[in-house]
Amino acid sequence: MNVKRWAAVIGLLALLMAAAGCGGRDSQQEDNGGLNITLEAASLDVGPTTLVITVADADGVPVNDAVLSVRGDMTHAGMLPVLGDAVSDGAAGRYLAPFEWTMGGDWVVTVEVTLADGTVARESFDLTING
């Protein structure tokens, strides 16, 4: 094989390796159905906390009649998920979910919102919990 052909093969292999390295973890963006979903944790320390979730439609109007569930997963394998439900606290579009961080480290919390018409929207949030 001549030098030009080797250079082309090596260049192609380098390109494939670079593309493979960009794969990484999937994006945390999910189908939020046009809703604006936010999440805040009262505490980012291991132990019990309350998740504060706000939901608004695309025009910024608070969504008050939704059913919300929450799933927390560690980013490494081997940990059971933490599951919970959120209930309205009476404020416009605001829901509270009792939750427990079972271990310090990186978490992905997924909020699933089911609207009164049956539409389901999801949004995921990356959080780092102090051990």
Q: What pLDDT, in 10s, does the model give residues 15-39?
A: 333 333 322 223 344 567 789 999 9
Q: Which residues of the chain are modeled with pLDDT < 50? A: 3, 6-29
77, 101 in Cβ contact below 8 A? Answer: no
Of the CA atoms within 13 Å of residue 74, those in its CB half-sphere come to: 15
**10-19 pLDDT tens trace:** 443 333 333 3
Going by the DSSP 8-state scheme, the letter that residue 27 receives in this structure is P
Q: Where in the chain are the domains? A: 30-129
The secondary structure of 52-92 as a DSSP string is: EEEEE-TTS-B--S-EEEEEEEESSTT-PPEEEEEEE-SST
pLDDT of residue 68: 98
Residue 1: per-residue pLDDT:
55
Q: What is the pTM of this model?
A: 0.75
Query: Do residues 50 and 89 touch, judged by C-beta distance below 8 A?
Result: no
pLDDT for the residue numbered 33: 75
pLDDT for 32:
75
* C-alpha radius of gyration, the chain, whole number: 21
Strands 105-114 and 120-129: antiparallel
Cα distances from 86 to residues 8, 10, 14, 28, 79, in angstroms, run: 56, 54, 48, 21, 22
Instruction: Report pLDDT for 66.
Output: 97
- Tokens representing 125 are 């949030």
Write down the CATH number for the domain with range 30-129: 2.60.40.10
